[in-house]
Structures are given as structure tokens and as C-alpha cells.
């Protein structure tokens, strides 16, 4: 992560970590590991409460958000405002989709309410829309176009090739992809998933290990307006990760 920050000149790094703990949920120790690695903010999704031990982190830390369309009483914060290394204030919001997902409050009305609470000097706003259907994601992108800096989707584990800056200046992508084993089915061992699908015999979907890759998206922003000026996909495989790690050890 430090090497990537240097090479890409990253001012803010936001990651979705809802599957970081063995493929489901997040633990306090992994949260601290991600922050120590250089992550600035963490978003969650439908697995936010899989590990009850994360509740104190959700309630007490400012660098993690749960879906804003969860009930007000749910542990965690609906939005956080952070100051980047470049001294820019950035709001980060997490939302959960409704199509093919568990019942949840309307994400469109929820994000409108959250946006109305933000100070006027917070112009850069990043939204993680954790949703299943690309139609749901596209509707959210259009709903927020011109009102937020970026709407970036997560949850399907597969990076989409539709990255774009919408007419109003909002960067959009249906799904930024998965960080984990590429030699897998959505991060799980191929043979286990195949067995269950083919025979209908239940098995434990263990996390795979082959060909780890980090997928993500880089958004370029005009801090004066909060509008996106560019967006592109990013893929880092194991060999590239080693190169980036070596860069931090080499004299500059």
C-alpha cells in the first residue's frame, strides 16, 4: 500500500472490508492491520455485523462506516468526514442496495438525508454502493450525478468495464472488483462451489488462495469543485505487489 500511494500519488485510500475476516465480516485486529497498512477509510456492506467483536470499532472509530440505510439504532456511523494528506475534507458514505438483497430501507432517500447533513465546505464525497444488480448501481449513479464526487459499486466481486465520469461530474463504476484470490469463484475454492452447484450437496465454501490480486479504481478530483476529472481501473497482482513493496525500501 505505501508503494502504491507513492506511485499513484494517492491522497485518500478507501477500501471495502466487509469480507476481510476469512471471507465474511471484519475483526478489530484486521481493521487495525488495514489502517496500519495505509488505508484511510473503510466501508462495509451486508456482512457488516457477521463478527460481533467489530461493534466497538464501528461505534468508536471515525475511519469506518456502515450502510447509511440501516436503522438509526444500528451500530456504527452512516457517514464520516476525513481530512486527506493534501488537507482536503472528504465525506465517505456506504449504502446497501435492495435488488436481490436482504430487505433494507431505501438507499436513495437515505443518501439524500445524509447529504443534507454535510457541511457546505465538504465538496468531495465518495459513495460506496454495495449492491447486487447493475441496474440498481446505475440508477444510484444517475441519482447522485453532480451531487457527489464518486459512486463506486462493490459486492459482486467482479470488476466492471463501465468506468466513466457522468455528465454532472460524478465518477461512476458498477463494481470496482475484488481483492483476493483470482483463481476462485468469487473468492471461494472452485471445487467446493462446483460440487454444491452440481450435486446440491452442501459444502463449506472455503476461501481460495491462488493468484491473489488487488482490484480497485483511481478517481482524479478537482478539490475546488468536488467534481471528478478522471477515473480508471487498477489491478495489482502478486508480482506487481512485490515491486511496489520494494519501492518503499529503495532510496528515493
| Rg (the chain; Cα; Å) | 18
Select which of 47, 130, 155, 215 is catalytic: 47
Residue 153 has φ and ψ, to the nearest 5°, of -85, 150
Angle, to 10 degrees, between the axis of helix 134-144 and the axis of helix 107-117?
A: 30
Residues in a beta bridge with 42: 15, 64
SS (H, E, C) 164-188: EECCCCCEEECCCCCCEEEECECCE
130 catalytic per annotation: no
Which of 155, 180, 158 minimizes the C-alpha distance to 22? 180
d(CA 137, CA 145): 12
Spatial CB neighbours of 103, under 8 Å, sequence gap ≥ 6: none
The total of other beta-carbon atoms located within 10 Å of residue 201's CB is: 8
- Decide if 88 contacts 79 (C-beta within 8 A): no
Spatial CB neighbours of 29, under 8 Å, sequence gap ≥ 6: none
The total of other beta-carbon atoms located within 10 Å of residue 23's CB is: 16
d(CA 113, CA 56): 25
Active site residues: 47
Amino acid at each position: 500500500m505505501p508503494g502504491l500511494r507513492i506511485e499513484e500519488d494517492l491522497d485518500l485510500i478507501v477500501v471495502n472490508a466487509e469480507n476481510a475476516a476469512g471471507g465474511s465480516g471484519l475483526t478489530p485486529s484486521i481493521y487495525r492491520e488495514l489502517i496500519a497498512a495505509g488505508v484511510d477509510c473503510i466501508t462495509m456492506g451486508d456482512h457488516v455485523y457477521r463478527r460481533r467483536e467489530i461493534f466497538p470499532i464501528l461505534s468508536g472509530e471515525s475511519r469506518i462506516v456502515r450502510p447509511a440505510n440501516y436503522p438509526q439504532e444500528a451500530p456504527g456511523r452512516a457517514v464520516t468526514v476525513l481530512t486527506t494528506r493534501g488537507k482536503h475534507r472528504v465525506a465517505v458514505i456506504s449504502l446497501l442496495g435492495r435488488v436481490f438483497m436482504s430487505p433494507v430501507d431505501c438507499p436513495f432517500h437515505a443518501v439524500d438525508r445524509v447529504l443534507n447533513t454535510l457541511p457546505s465546505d465538504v465538496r468531495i464525497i465518495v459513495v460506496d454502493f454495495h449492491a447486487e444488480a447493475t441496474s440498481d448501481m446505475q440508477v444510484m449513479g444517475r441519482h447522485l450525478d453532480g451531487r457527489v464526487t464518486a459512486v463506486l459499486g462493490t459486492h459482486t466481486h467482479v470488476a466492471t468495464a463501465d468506468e466513466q465520469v457522468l455528465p454532472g461530474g460524478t465518477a461512476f463504476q458498477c463494481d470496482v472488483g475484488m481483492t483476493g484470490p483470482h483463481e476462485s469463484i468469487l473468492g471461494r475454492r472452485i471445487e467446493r462451489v462446483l460440487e454444491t452447484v452440481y450435486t446440491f450437496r452442501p459444502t463449506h465454501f472455503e476461501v481460495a488462495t491462488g493468484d491473489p490480486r488487488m482490484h480497485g479504481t483511481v478517481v482524479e478530483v478537482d478539490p475546488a469543485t468536488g467534481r471528478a476529472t478522471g477515473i480508471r481501473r487498477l489491478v495489482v497482482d502478486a508480482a506487481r505487489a512485490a515491486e511496489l513493496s520494494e519501492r518503499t525500501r529503495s532510496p528515493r
